[in-house]
Amino acid sequence: MEVSGLDSDGKEFKNAEEMWREQIGEDGEQQEKKTQWYREGISYWEGVEASVDGVLGGFGNVNEVDIKGSEAFLQMLLSDRFPNARNNQHLVALDCGSGIGRITKNLLIRYFNEVDLLEPVSHFLDAARESLAPENHMAPDMHKATNFFCVPLQDFTPETGRYDVVWVQWCIGHLTDDDFVSFFKRAKVGLKPGGFFVLKENIARSGSEGIT
């Protein structure tokens, strides 16, 4: 079924395939245009302030309700998948598109012994590293942010079997369809037995939306 939609400039496309041809080209030119497409995306975020309001596009007021909703969902998943988590089970999470560490600091580090952050925008990651330094936040003993990877999703391959949870929120739309699939195939290798993905994303109410 074809679903029409608009890109962020308001240009209409009859389906997603037409939109991607416009954005990243046909087979012969695709790699060069795709590289440029990703570069422009990073360039945009490099001009954004490293703050909650900045990473949330001026909607910093949604931070609290977002964290509350995510925490309720995460508690349900952890009690179901890791019922013995409080009995010295060492849990590790990967925060994808972590930005300034908003989700890690306000949620993940309270439930996981280690959290790795994956973010391609260097000044966001620098802010996360500072915010998550032990002297700058309150977290349970033996809970910490461990690794800070300044790598885009499409280029990241995790350590095999490291993670109990791979958390992907409000960033996956920055990947092309092919790279979306490839990312999850690679990231799956990073899960421990019984581990799982959490994918939280905004969706269009009707039609489709593209990102330029």
Residues 61 and 95 in one domain: yes
Residue 207 confidence (pLDDT) above 60? no
Per residue in 53-71, pLDDT (tens digit) is 999 999 999 999 999 999 9
Answer yes or no: are the C-beta atoms of 164 and 193 closer than 8 Å. no
Residue 207: inside a domain:
no
Residues 90 and 24 in one domain: no
Per residue in 57-106, pLDDT (tens digit) is 999 999 999 999 999 999 999 999 988 766 678 999 999 999 999 999 99
The reported pTM is 0.90
Residue 32 CA to residue 175 CA, distance in Å, equals: 15
Residues 82 and 27 in one domain: no
Residue 205: inside a domain:
no
Residue 16 confidence (pLDDT) above 50? yes
Residue at 2: amino acid letter: E
Residue 20 confidence (pLDDT) above 90? no
Residues 158 and 65 in one domain: yes
Per residue in 137-155, pLDDT (tens digit) is 777 778 999 999 999 999 9
Check the annotation: does 102 bind a ligand.
Answer: yes
* Most confident residue range from 16-30, 72-86, 127-141, 177-191: 177-191
Residues 67 and 17 in one domain: no
Answer yes or no: are the C-beta atoms of 4 and 14 closer than 8 Å. yes
pLDDT for the residue numbered 6: 80
Please tell me the total count of domains within the chain. 2
Check the annotation: does 89 bind a ligand.
Answer: no
Instruction: Supply the range of the domain harboring residue 14.
Output: 1-47
Residue 206 confidence (pLDDT) above 80? no
* Three-state secondary-structure class, residue 195: strand
List the CATH number of the domain containing 143: 3.40.50.150
Q: H-helix or E-strand containing 103? A: helix 102-103
Q: ∠151-135-86 over CA atoms, to 5°?
A: 80
DSSP 8-state symbol, 182: H
Check the annotation: does 153 bind a ligand.
Answer: yes
Q: Which of 212, 191, 178 is nearest to 96 (CA)?
A: 191
Residue at 119: amino acid letter: E
Residue at 155: amino acid letter: D
Residues 23 and 2 in one domain: yes
Residue 211 confidence (pLDDT) above 50? no
